[in-house]
Amino acid sequence: MKTMYGRQFATMVGMVLLSFLMLGASFATLSYQYTIRDKKDTLERNAKYIAQFTSDSVKTGGELVWQTAAFQSYLNSVALVSDSRIVITTPEGVVVYATNSGDALPDLQYAPLPQQTVEEIVNGSFMGMTTLDGLYDESQYLVGLPITNVKGYLQGLVLVSSSASNISGVWRDLFGILLVTTLAVVLIAAIISSVTSMRQSQPIKEVAAAARQFGLGQLDVRVDVGTRRDEVGELADAFNAMAESLSKSEQRRSEFIANVSHELKTPMTTIAGFADGILDGTIPPDQERHYLQIISSETRRLSRLVRSMLDLSRLQSDERAAQQQFDICETLVRALVSLERKVNAKHLEVDAKLPDDEPIPVWGDQDAITQVCYNLLDNAIKFSQEGGVLGLEVTVKGPKATITISNQGETIPPEEQQLVFDRFHKTDHSRSADRDGVGLGLYIVKTILNSHKETITCTSADGVTKFVFTLTRA
d(Cα 256, Cα 354) in Å, to the nearest integer?
38
Encoded amino acid at 400, one letter: K
CB-CB neighbours of 259 under 10 Å: 18
Q: What is the mean pLDDT of residues 13-41?
A: 77
* Confidence (pLDDT) at 396: 92
Residue 225's pLDDT band (cuts 50, 70, 90): low
The tens digit of pLDDT for each residue in 68-113 reads 788 888 888 888 888 888 888 888 888 888 886 444 444 566 678 8
* Confidence (pLDDT) at 218: 79
Q: Dihedrals φ, ψ of 346, to 5°?
A: -100, 5
d(Cα 154, Cα 371) in Å, to the nearest integer?
120
Encoded amino acid at 138, one letter: E
Reduced to 3 states (helix: H, G, I; strand: E, B; else coil), residue 152 is: coil
Q: Which residues contact 63 (CB under 8 A, 6 or more apart)?
A: 155
* Confidence (pLDDT) at 2: 58
Nearest 10 degrees: Cα torsion 312, 363, 355, 441: 10
Residue 349's pLDDT band (cuts 50, 70, 90): very high
The tens digit of pLDDT for each residue in 243-261 reads 888 887 777 677 667 766 7
Is the overall model pTM greater than 0.85, yes or no? Answer: no
DSSP element (H, E) containing 352:
strand 349-353
DSSP string, 225-241: -TT--SHHHHHHHHHHH
d(Cα 282, Cα 225) in Å, to the nearest integer?
68
* Confidence (pLDDT) at 101: 46
DSSP 434: -
The tens digit of pLDDT for each residue in 263-306 reads 677 678 878 888 888 888 888 888 888 888 888 877 887 787 77
